[in-house]
Amino acid sequence: MDLENQRIEAVNGVQIPQLGFGVYKLTNKGEFETAIREAIRIGYRHFDTAKIYGNEEALGIEIQKSRIPREQFFITSKVWNTDHGYEATKRAFEQTAKKLKVEYLDMYLIHFASPDYMGTWRAMEELYSQGKIKVIGVANFEIQHLEELLKHAKIPPMINQIETHPEFPQNKLHNYLKEHQILHQAWGPLGQGNKTLLAHPELQIIAHAHQKTVAQVILRWHLERGIIVIPKSSNPKRMKENSQIFDFGLNADEMEKISRLNTGKRYAINPTGYIINPIYNWLMKLFLK
């Protein structure tokens, strides 16, 4: 049964489950199968993958095995840097759809603003117009990338998936996205599971007040900001806990206290470097291993 899940409406009216399940770095076959089966059993229906993760095919198999109707799932994937350009993106999409065993993707994103992402966007606009993608967007785009894309796009991006957590709330970019009716989706919403963050005294006090875990409080903080979250875990207990964030709320004082945790600390590489650094793609391959 689908878990209780709030939905956020994209600018085109598509309803996106606000809580999803990320599969980044879940590459061990046995671990992956167990994690996805358990996630589906708990009620997750929104799954986020990418070509570079190397698990699109495995995700498609597990979704098919569930025998749950395709339309009940919300499936996202992303076009990788080596497939940028109009023709290459069209081919990459077909390969992804084939691996996932789907006729359409609920969401397809440009993974990074690498060279020729304009050609990639043209292909995505065409695939969207053909009904092969329900929501088109980007990931790891900074304001300058979005400004450039908006100058040329016939269809503006509907979502931007970016690193976001209490120590790096992306306030400026978050406000820009709201202003331009672009949804904000957080990857690494728990700060990559950083133990210092999860043990922060202020967060522990708030968690105790609600009889919740610190991770649940952080995920709720994202929801209160209108952000879509895709936490990942292969631990059944944590997967269940991450889904139990719809039965409480944070007040203004608690939100303010969490906002003070902002240190500007990224746990991943700065995506701005791609445009100016010729070895960035090589670094990204190392980072994503």
Q: Which residues are annotated as a binding site?
A: 111
β-pairing, 133-139 vs 21-22, is: unpaired
240: amino acid identity, one letter: K
The dihedral region occupied by 114, where left means phi > 0, alpha psi between -120 and 50, and beta the remainder, is: beta
Given the residues 44, 53, 128, 274, the one annotated as active site:
53
Closest listed residue to residue 113, CA positions, set 149, 89, 77? 149
Active site residue 53: yes
DSSP symbols for 196-223? HHHT-HHHHHHHHHHT--HHHHHHHHHH
Closest listed residue to residue 22, CA positions, set 1, 41, 42, 39? 39
Binding residues for substrate: 111
The order of strands in the sheet holding 21-22 is 21-22, 46-48, 74-79, 105-110, 133-139, 159-163, 183-187, 228-229
Q: Which two tokens stand for residue 104?
A: 């359409």
In sequence order, which ranges of the chain are alpha helices (DSSP H)?
Answer: 29-42, 56-66, 86-100, 117-129, 143-152, 171-179, 195-198, 201-210, 214-224, 236-243, 252-259, 273-276, 280-287
Catalytic residues: 53
